[in-house]
A and B are shown apart, each in its own frame.
Chain A
Amino acid sequence: MIEGLLSIFTLADLLDIAVILIVVLALNLMAGYAGIPNFGMALFVFIGAFSLAGIGTRVALLLTSIVDPGFIDRLSRAHLLIAKTYNGSLKDILLYGVAGDPMVNRVAAPEMEKIVSQDLILSMILLVTVLGAAIILGALMGIIASFAAVRLREDYLAIVLLAFSEMMVMVIFAQTDVFVGGPNGAYVVKPWPTVLEDAVKPITPPGISSDLMIALIVSLLVLLLTFVYAERIANSPMGRVLRAMRDDDLVIATFGRDVPLTRLKVMAVGAMIASIAGVLYATIRTPVVASTYDRFTWTFVPWAMMILGGMANNWGVVLGAITIYVGQRLIYYYTPSVFQAMVPILDVISRLAIPLILSSTVLIIILLALRWRAKTDLERRLATYTIIGLIGFVGSTLILAVSIHYIISNIVYVQALLPKIFLGIVIILVLYLRPQGIMPEKPARTLSRRELKEILARESR
């Protein structure tokens, strides 16, 4: 049983968890501490993926063509159409083909990776450019996306961030080939040198690619750094300013803090961290297709993880993220067998549909009468909940019974969509039952009384 459970999860899942934890910690900094409703997280993660797939490939081509002048010729010889379309022009391939044209991208990316990874200096240049691009572009995007609404109320900020993210990812990047191949996506050039691959080889389990192992180690390192940074920020005077801004921006403005500027700074830092996570994610999940960085996966899921774990509590959001990730995978994994097991029961129910409807109608009428005659508020509420529950249960059972065979024959879609529906319901329930999350926010750790006294004594001397 336990082994069966463990076999669902692979090292790739560990990478996913590490990446999403970085994203959730960044989101917690923005939304949990600073109170910025960042509904555009998907954009910042995508910017990281774009830095690798859109900018990294171009830098790699530049480096390759410097080291190996015959590279473009070989590329043209590999495919007749490439030669015909680009006529061996480095400029055209660099500006458009290498990331925008799937024909060139599919051929060039692995070749470039071979050449770049062999040279330690080349791969380091590539790594530094990609990370630099991710940091700069991410921070810039964070500022641009929130600039228009940073002075306004939270709801405007949320709308603008969501709209900006949807527009950039789903319209500009997903529909224009030139950036990362539009609907086709673009393969990336991984910036890891062979030296690194050799170094991780001894600790790589059999059957796992060394690329994954490197990405995993780097992600865990970045995760550790992000966590330490988030904790440091949270317990610093800056963290207290952020919390005060979240709770009442008027008060903190009265104390001389520039609220819009602080919000912009937090947006820049958070977006930067998220886009580094995007780079790490894209090294493994290649090709990078813009439309897969959607509102659900990279905005709603991190929000759900943060709310379940507890906003403004870094340990809490880590716990929430792991819980939701594992839960979603388990639902995904067990959906087919659960539905299979339900078939015989549901077949009986579908034969008994009419008596079931009749009896539940009678029951509902009795409950309605009870509700009408109820003397206390508790009785009335109990009756209402029972009625709603009964209608929901009988209705959903009947719908299930009628459509079970269609569900079984389309189980792939059910498997993909059911975890999302569950997640939506769970978040509404969490907001209703425990809005502070599993681990509520704790007061900021300040200096102890003894230390404060010592400082005061030193000051007064």
Chain B
Amino acid sequence: MVLPSPEFLVYSIAYGSVLALLCIGLTLTYMVTKVPNFAHATLAITGATVTLFLLDRIYYSLHPVRCPGCTMQYVTLYLLAPILAFIIVGLVALAEYLLVLRPLARRGIGIIGLMIATLAFDMILYNALSLTLYITPAENLGRLMDAPLKGFDVGVTLAGVNTSFSRLLLPLVAVLLAVALHMFLTRTKFGVSLRASIENPNLARALGINVDLAYMVSWFLAGGLAGASGALWAFMIESYKPETAYLILVSVFAGSILGGLGSIYGALVGGFLIGLAETIGLVMAQNLLQLLLNILGLTVTVTITQYQRFFSLIIVIVVLLIAPQGLAGINIRGLLARGGGLR
């Protein structure tokens, strides 16, 4: 059995969608500020915390076990959580830009200083989040920390595949947001001026474009995408902890580097590919390894699935060694033209 089950396929597509949205946000902020935002994963977990608080404050009584007929209320949660998280986390990201990065960049702090500033913001946000969870008036602490968010997901059976509502919703939301972003960037005047501000801020300023506003909007959008995807990603977390953010950061950077850190479409593809590689790719690699060992006559059981993030680190290293510009650096037209020449 080398091929994974359809349930797992749905899971990995949903996970890939989360990573794709996170990578788009990270790449957008990187293009605007030219600094990798080390707080991006914590922004995502802030989105997940919004879902947690909604569940705790409004929906706690609707635990699936206790309330089998409450599907409609859950649907409102699935809509409310990403929208609310989009706004809240977007504002947090905007605060990071306005209060930390913009003043520092204006004072001429170098890239290392800016990176350490994002790391400092990450530490503040992460610890403030933990602190909020610890001192929140809850009946008992265990209710918020280690909350089994996965258990709140509504199960759905579609075409014989047992899956859940959030996993079906995530790819949809990702496609919707990506298309909306694409439309915004190419079809609206503001989107075009945003791209111009990223491409050449001085020229854009000379043409009367409000570059500051464009950058602020980019940061808000990046934070919003992280928040919305984090709010739905919450339903895939086994047990909620702010620490979860620690490790997804590597996957997000992996996707962005694979995408080339300079192209939003590259980030979309890169994030999705990393998501697939960490789930399906890893399981297939494990099964192949097992098969190989069985053929060799060894009776060892291999489990490498807990090292999924290590897989993405290897991808990063390979990409940086072979093609540091990532997917965006591959000249598709050039390759096609060369192929044509051979013919």
Residues on the A chain within 8 Å of B89, using CB: none
Residues on the A chain within 8 Å of B112, using CB: 31, 35, 37, 154, 158
Stretch with Cβ within 8 A of B (4 or more), from A54-62, A76-84, A161-169, A269-277: A161-169
Stretch with Cβ within 8 A of A (4 or more), from B56-64, B146-154, B172-180, B313-321: B313-321
Q: From residue 271 to 313 of chain A, which have CB atoms closer than 8 A to chain B?
A: 294-296, 300, 303-304, 307
B: interface residue count bin: 35 or more
Stretch with Cβ within 8 A of A (4 or more), from B121-129, B280-288, B330-338: B121-129
Beyond A149-B320, A171-B310, A425-B124, whether A159 also contacts B134 by CB under 8 A is no
Other-chain contact of A421, B35, B123, B257 (Cβ < 8 Å): B123
Tell me the bound Cα distance from A4 to B38 in angstroms: 39
Other-chain contact of B135, A35, A160, A403, A421 (Cβ < 8 Å): A403
Q: From residue 293 to 350 of chain A, which have CB atoms closer than 8 A to chain B?
A: 294-296, 300, 303-304, 307
Q: From residue 257 to 288 of chain B, which have CB atoms closer than 8 A to chain A?
A: 257
Residue of A nearest to B113 (CB): A431
Q: Are B254 and A163 in contact, CB atoms less than 8 angstroms apart?
A: yes
Write out, one digit per residue, whether chain B residues 151-171 have a CB within 8 A of any chain A CB (1) or not (0).
000000000000000000000
Q: Is B291 an interface residue (CB 8 A)?
A: no
Beyond A148-B321, A159-B253, whether A300 also contacts B120 by CB under 8 A is yes
Residues on the B chain within 8 Å of A418, using CB: 131
Q: Is A365 an interface residue (CB 8 A)?
A: no
Beyond A148-B320, A166-B249, A417-B130, whether A431 also contacts B135 by CB under 8 A is no
Beyond A407-B135, A417-B127, A428-B100, whether A148 also contacts B119 by CB under 8 A is no
Residues on the B chain within 8 Å of A164, using CB: 313
Beyond A162-B38, A171-B310, whether A300 also contacts B119 by CB under 8 A is yes
Q: Are A167 and B257 in contact, CB atoms less than 8 angstroms apart?
A: no
Q: Are A435 and B119 in contact, CB atoms less than 8 angstroms apart?
A: no
Residues on the A chain within 8 Å of B137, using CB: 403, 406
Residues on the A chain within 8 Å of B109, using CB: 431, 435
Tell me the bound Cα distance from A163 to B258 in angstroms: 14
Interface centre among A156, A294, A407, by most chain B C-beta atoms within 10 angstroms, is A156
Q: Are A427 and B117 in contact, CB atoms less than 8 angstroms apart?
A: yes
Beyond A160-B317, A414-B135, whether A167 also contacts B309 by CB under 8 A is yes
Q: Are B136 and A159 in contact, CB atoms less than 8 angstroms apart?
A: no
Q: Is B183 an interface residue (CB 8 A)?
A: no
Beyond A166-B246, A410-B135, A427-B116, whether A172 also contacts B307 by CB under 8 A is yes
Q: Is B103 an interface residue (CB 8 A)?
A: yes
Tell me the bound Cα distance from A334 to B221 in angstroms: 40
Q: Are B127 and A155 in contact, CB atoms less than 8 angstroms apart?
A: no
Q: Is B104 an interface residue (CB 8 A)?
A: yes
Residue of B nearest to A35 (CB): B112
Q: Are B246 and A417 in contact, CB atoms less than 8 angstroms apart?
A: no
Residues on the B chain within 8 Å of A435, using CB: 107, 109, 113
Q: Are A175 and B307 in contact, CB atoms less than 8 angstroms apart?
A: yes
Q: Is B115 an interface residue (CB 8 A)?
A: yes
Residues on the A chain within 8 Å of B35, using CB: 155
Q: Is B324 an interface residue (CB 8 A)?
A: yes
Q: Are A414 and B131 in contact, CB atoms less than 8 angstroms apart?
A: yes
Write out, one digit per residue, whether chain A residues 423-448 have a CB within 8 A of any chain B CB (1) or not (0).
11101100110010000000000000
Beyond A148-B320, A155-B36, A424-B123, whether A166 also contacts B250 by CB under 8 A is yes
Q: Is B192 an interface residue (CB 8 A)?
A: no
Residue of B nearest to A409 (CB): B135
Residue of B nearest to A164 (CB): B313
Q: Are A424 and B120 in contact, CB atoms less than 8 angstroms apart?
A: yes
Q: Are A156 and B257 in contact, CB atoms less than 8 angstroms apart?
A: yes
Q: Are A166 and B247 in contact, CB atoms less than 8 angstroms apart?
A: yes
Other-chain contact of B134, A294, A295, A410 (Cβ < 8 Å): A410
Residues on the A chain within 8 Å of B103, using CB: 432
Other-chain contact of B320, A152, A154, A403, A407 (Cβ < 8 Å): A152
Tell me the bound Cα distance from A56 to B124 in angstroms: 37
Q: Is B76 an interface residue (CB 8 A)?
A: no
Q: Are A303 and B316 in contact, CB atoms less than 8 angstroms apart?
A: no
State how many angstroms separate the Cβ of A410 from the closest Cβ of chain B: 5
Q: Are A307 and B321 in contact, CB atoms less than 8 angstroms apart?
A: no
Residues on the A chain within 8 Å of B249, using CB: 162-163, 166
Q: Is A71 an interface residue (CB 8 A)?
A: no
Tell me the bound Cα distance from A407 to B250 in angstroms: 33
Residues on the A chain within 8 Å of B113, using CB: 307, 431, 435
Other-chain contact of B115, A35, A37, A170, A407 (Cβ < 8 Å): A37
Residues on the A chain within 8 Å of B36, using CB: 155, 158-159
Q: Is A413 an interface residue (CB 8 A)?
A: yes
Beyond A163-B313, A175-B306, A428-B100, whether A158 also contacts B115 by CB under 8 A is yes
Beyond A155-B35, A158-B36, whether A406 also contacts B257 by CB under 8 A is no
Write out, one digit per residue, whether chain B residues 32-51 have a CB within 8 A of any chain A CB (1) or not (0).
00111010000000000000
Beyond A155-B111, A403-B137, whether A167 also contacts B123 by CB under 8 A is no
Closest 4 CB pairs of A and B: A424-B124, A413-B134, A148-B317, A424-B123
Instruction: Please give 11 more A-B residue pairs, beta carbons under 8 A apart, in addition to A155-B36, A167-B310.
Output: A39-B38, A152-B320, A162-B253, A163-B313, A163-B316, A166-B246, A171-B309, A303-B119, A403-B136, A421-B124, A435-B113
Q: Pull 9 A–B residue pairs with CB atoms less than 8 Å apart, ordered by A.
A: A39-B115, A154-B112, A167-B309, A172-B310, A417-B131, A421-B127, A421-B128, A421-B131, A427-B116
A interface list, Cβ under 8 A from B: 31, 35, 37, 39, 148-149, 152-156, 158-160, 162-164, 166-167, 170-172, 175, 294-296, 300, 303-304, 307, 403, 406-407, 410, 413-414, 417-418, 420-421, 423-425, 427-428, 431-432, 435
